[in-house]
């Protein structure tokens, strides 16, 4: 059980602009003082010995433990998870700061290799747990409330029981994990090393994609065509990485007997396949009412006969170009958090004052944004690529929401704090919603209100419609890979099929857009992760509606939900709010909020 959460890059992070004031950088010394810190070797030595000792004490003996013995065993495993997580968090965060730095890449690779080797003796643990009879475990839980607290962990482990291989094969797969990691690093380093030339200036991917939100249409087109050119020049590398990762997954799934490529993600998310299918179907059915309708409105606002892909995130003509400096962004988000509950602002405050945020765009820095919980004995770190677009303020609100959630859940301890991905987006999207509602309430004119509403609708479409289209792309990609090797043209065709369906008839698609699948990190780092965004957005829309309908006592229930971390199923977490994600109508409630915003925008046209 020594797996620990890795940074997952949020899909909608955007940035652009300058003159931002002093941007914060990480202070990683709460993890380790430096790569030469003697504490690193001390912890590695401890981990090697502790893993060997754990295996010597428990391998082949789990069925002999009483409740007290099993509790001690679980707590020892939790300590192993904490130490390995601290080491890998430090190595990973340093690497993401400058992914093109060979020394940082080597440090992380060496750390992965050593921790994989040291933790191999632990593979027996989950395998033996799954061989214990249900009634045996039930009697242990009945004998100890302290042990029963860990039951959700046992439940998740035992959900893998039907797909478990032999002990020897599981150890082999554990050791082979570093090979898959190497393909991920190749992807990361390739993306970080890309350079794009716009008006004679060399830019990285992050700065180039932000030009797609520029008011100047020629600049947007130039950026889109340059992205297509550079990605096209590297498309065989990206296709090779995707083919290899998808094939590795197919082999693993086949050996484990998993019924679909998505099964492993559903199990790790602790969510039923039919719930995800209901979400997917509700969103796809709503494409005409959401994205198709909104982009037709936007086409008219922009005065275009046809929309091009570089117009998708264009600012509205009535929207004045605006750069939000860092101090202003901080005040906007913190006041929105405090307006909901002062406790939320208090939890967010140390991120700004103690070096828990790395905000600036720098050469070699990983693109996008994330909040990484590290380990429960330290604190989360937030990464942004902040360049001052108003949407960057929403990204800050989003990542701080993750951070607040991770801080609150830390009291659950290392094994129970980690929230399934479907619920991990709850606090982040809620933080965005609070910030948006505060700005909307303070709008000084109809034009400002329209701009805010349109921006929010676009963000929601990017979060719900676009991510479900991404999910469909992955489903089709993995299904096609099971039939054989995919050429770049094969993958391009899959990408275009879901893009046309989701974006709608207002769009034309330039030559070159077919390769835009290639730089999206989720497809490589965490297959099928993307539906968690739509799950989180729909869930938060329903939650916010519950807050508006019955604000009394909502905050306490909300904080209780975040504190629960991964200790409860989504049904238990939502029950206090009268919500149930397994009800297909639940998703229509969330989608109706987006539809209502579009209704209001259409009414402004009259």
Judge contact between 169 and 255, C-beta under 8 A.
yes
- Name which of 14, 2, 59 is nearest 458 in CA terms: 14
Three-state SS sequence of 128-185: HHCCCCHHHHHHHHHHCHHHHCCHHHHHHHHHCHHHCCCHHHHHHHHHHHHHHHHHHH
pLDDT over 60 at 484, yes or no: yes
Residues 6 or more apart whose Cβ sits within 8 Å of residue 254: none
CA dist 510 and 422 (Å) reads 34
Give the ranges where 306-425 is alpha helix by DSSP (H).
326-340, 342-353, 390-409, 414-417, 421-424
pLDDT over 80 at 318, yes or no: no
What is the model's pLDDT at position 445? Answer: 86
Q: How confident is the model at residue 606 (pLDDT cuts 50, 70, 90)?
A: low
Collapsing DSSP to helix, strand or coil, 357 comes out as: strand
b/e map 90-103, b = 16+ CB within 10 Å: bbbbbbbbbbeeee
CA dist 386 and 362 (Å) reads 10
Q: What are phi and psi of 196, to 5 degrees?
A: -125, 135
Q: Which two tokens stand for residue 56?
A: 């010597």
Q: How confident is the model at residue 409 (pLDDT cuts 50, 70, 90)?
A: very high
Q: pLDDT tens-digit profile of 339-354?
A: 999 999 999 999 999 9
CA dist 584 and 573 (Å) reads 17
CA distances from 116 to 62, 244, 326, 427, 562 (A): 23, 21, 40, 32, 31
Half-sphere exposure of 425 (CA within 13 A, CB side): 26
Collapsing DSSP to helix, strand or coil, 383 comes out as: strand
Collapsing DSSP to helix, strand or coil, 580 comes out as: coil
pLDDT over 90 at 230, yes or no: yes
- Name which of 539, 333, 589 is nearest 437 in CA terms: 333
Q: How confident is the model at residue 367 (pLDDT cuts 50, 70, 90)?
A: confident
pLDDT over 60 at 12, yes or no: no
Kindly tell me the burial class for residue 252, based on how many C-beta atoms sit within 10 Å of its own C-beta (0-12, 13-18, 19 or more).
Answer: middle
Q: 120-129, 163-172, 402-411, 502-511: which range is least confident on average?
A: 163-172
What is the model's pLDDT at position 174? Answer: 77
Q: Which two tokens stand for residue 426?
A: 């709850």
CA dist 297 and 605 (Å) reads 9
Q: Which two tokens stand for residue 250?
A: 């197919």
Q: How confident is the model at residue 7 (pLDDT cuts 50, 70, 90)?
A: low
Q: How confident is the model at residue 390 (pLDDT cuts 50, 70, 90)?
A: confident
Q: Which two tokens stand for residue 606?
A: 């009259």
Query: What is residue 370's DSSP assignment?
Result: E
Length of the chain in terms of residues written:
606
Q: How confident is the model at residue 533 (pLDDT cuts 50, 70, 90)?
A: confident
* Residues 389-395, mean pLDDT to the nearest whole number: 87
Three-state SS sequence of 73-104: HHHHHHHHHHHHHHHHHHHHHHHHHCCCCHHH
CA dist 8 and 81 (Å) reads 19
CA dist 299 and 305 (Å) reads 7
Collapsing DSSP to helix, strand or coil, 550 comes out as: coil
Percent of the chain with pLDDT over 90: 72
Q: Which two tokens stand for residue 526?
A: 């965490």
Quote the pTM value: 0.81
Q: 12-21, 118-127, 312-321, 550-559: which range is least confident on average?
A: 12-21
Please report where in the chains the tokens 């790790």 appear, as a residue. Answer: 268
* Residues 564-580, mean pLDDT to the nearest whole number: 91
CA dist 601 and 316 (Å) reads 13
Judge contact between 371 and 395, C-beta under 8 A.
no
Which has more confidence, 162 or 556?
556
Query: What is residue 364's DSSP assignment?
Result: T
CA dist 230 and 382 (Å) reads 29
* Residues 199-204, mean pLDDT to the nearest whole number: 92
Q: What are phi and psi of 507, to 5 degrees?
A: -105, 145
Q: Which two tokens stand for residue 293?
A: 């309708």
* Residues 479-491, mean pLDDT to the nearest whole number: 96
**Terminal Cα distance for the chain, rounded:** 59
Judge contact between 563 and 404, C-beta under 8 A.
no
In order of their start, the domains of the chain are 277-354+389-605 (1.10.1370.20)
Collapsing DSSP to helix, strand or coil, 375 comes out as: coil
* Residues 117-141, mean pLDDT to the nearest whole number: 92
What is the model's pLDDT at position 15? Answer: 40
CA dist 451 and 382 (Å) reads 28
- Name which of 416, 431, 508, 520 is nearest 467 in CA terms: 520
* Average pLDDT value for the chain: 91
pLDDT over 90 at 10, yes or no: no
Q: In what order do the strands lie in the sheet with 381-383?
A: 357-358, 381-383, 370-372
What is the model's pLDDT at position 18? Answer: 59
pLDDT over 70 at 2, yes or no: no
Query: What is residue 224's DSSP assignment?
Result: H
Q: pLDDT tens-digit profile of 219-228?
A: 999 999 999 9
Q: What are phi and psi of 479, to 5 degrees?
A: -65, -40
Please report where in the chains the tokens 């797969």 appear, as a residue. Answer: 173
Q: What are phi and psi of 382, to 5 degrees?
A: -110, 130
Q: 235-256 and 488-503 are packed helices; what angle lies between their axes, rounded to 10 degrees?
A: 90
Collapsing DSSP to helix, strand or coil, 541 comes out as: helix
Q: pLDDT tens-digit profile of 153-173?
A: 999 888 888 888 788 888 888
Q: What are phi and psi of 423, to 5 degrees?
A: -100, -15
pLDDT over 80 at 599, yes or no: yes
pLDDT over 80 at 5, yes or no: no
Half-sphere exposure of 278 (CA within 13 A, CB side): 17
- Name which of 507, 472, 590 is nearest 313 in CA terms: 507
């Amino acid at each position: 059980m020594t797996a620990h959460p890795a940074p997952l890059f949020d899909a909608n992070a955007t940035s652009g602009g300058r003159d931002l004031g002093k941007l914060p950088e990480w202070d990683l010394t709460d993890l380790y003082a430096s790569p030469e810190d003697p504490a690193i070797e001390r912890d590695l030595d401890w981990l090697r010995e502790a893993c060997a000792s754990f295996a010597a004490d428990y391998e082949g003996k789990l069925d002999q433990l009483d409740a007290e013995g099993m509790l001690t065993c679980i707590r020892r495993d939790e300590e192993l998870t904490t130490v390995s997580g601290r080491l890998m968090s430090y190595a990973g965060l340093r690497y993401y700061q400058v992914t093109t730095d060979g020394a940082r890449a080597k440090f992380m690779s060496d750390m992965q290799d050593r921790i994989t080797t040291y933790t191999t003796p632990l593979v027996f643990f989950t395998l033996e747990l799954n061989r214990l009879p249900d009634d045996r475990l039930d009697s242990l839980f009945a004998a100890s409330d302290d042990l029963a607290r860990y039951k959700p962990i046992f439940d998740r482990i035992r959900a893998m029981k039907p797909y478990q291989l032999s002990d020897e094969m599981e150890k082999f797969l554990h050791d082979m994990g570093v090979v898959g990691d190497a393909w991920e690093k190749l992807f990361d380093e390739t993306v970080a090393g890309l350079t794009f030339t716009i008006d004679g200036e060399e830019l990285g991917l992050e700065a180039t994609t932000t030009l797609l939100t520029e008011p100047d249409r020629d600049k947007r087109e130039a950026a889109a065509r340059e992205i297509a050119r550079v990605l096209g020049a590297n498309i065989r590398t990206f296709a090779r990485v995707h083919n290899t990762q998808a094939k590795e997954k197919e082999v693993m799934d086949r050996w484990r007997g998993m019924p679909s490529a998505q099964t492993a993600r559903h199990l790790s998310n602790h969510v039923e396949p039919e719930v995800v299918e209901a979400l997917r179907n509700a969103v796809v059915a709503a494409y005409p009412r959401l994205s198709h309708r909104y982009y037709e409105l936007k086409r008219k606002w922009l005065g275009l006969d046809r929309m091009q892909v570089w117009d998708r995130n264009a600012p509205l003509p009535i929207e004045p170009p605006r750069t939000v400096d860092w101090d202003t962004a901080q005040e906007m988000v913190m006041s929105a958090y405090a307006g909901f509950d002062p406790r939320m602002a208090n939890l967010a405050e140390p991120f700004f004052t103690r070096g828990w945020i790395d905000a600036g765009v720098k050469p070699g820095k990983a693109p996008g944004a994330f909040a990484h919980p590290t380990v429960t004995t330290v604190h989360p770190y937030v990464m942004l690529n902040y360049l001052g677009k108003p949407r960057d303020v929403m990204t800050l609100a989003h990542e701080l929401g993750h951070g607040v959630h991770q801080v609150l859940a830390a009291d659950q301890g290392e094994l129970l704090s980690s929230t399934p991905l479907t619920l991990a987006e709850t606090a982040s999207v809620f933080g965005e919603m609070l910030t948006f509602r505060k700005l909307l309430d303070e709008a000084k004119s109809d034009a400002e209100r329209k701009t805010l509403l349109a921006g929010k609708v676009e963000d929601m479409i990017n979060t719900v419609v676009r991510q479900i289209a991404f999910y469909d792309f992955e489903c089709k990609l993995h299904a096609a890979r099971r039939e054989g090797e995919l050429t770049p043209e094969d993958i391009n065709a899959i990408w275009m099929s879901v893009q046309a369906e989701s974006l709608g008839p207002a769009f034309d698609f330039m030559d070159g857009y077919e390769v835009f699948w290639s730089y999206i990190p989720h497809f490589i780092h965490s297959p099928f992760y993307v539906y968690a965004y739509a799950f989180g957005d729909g869930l938060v829309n329903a939650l916010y509606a519950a807050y508006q309908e019955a604000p009394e006592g909502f905050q306490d229930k909300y904080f209780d939900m975040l504190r629960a971390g991964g200790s409860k199923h989504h049904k238990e977490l939502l029950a206090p709010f009268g919500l149930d994600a397994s009800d297909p109508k639940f998703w229509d409630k969330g989608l109706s909020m987006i539809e209502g915003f579009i209704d209001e925008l259409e009414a402004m046209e009259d």
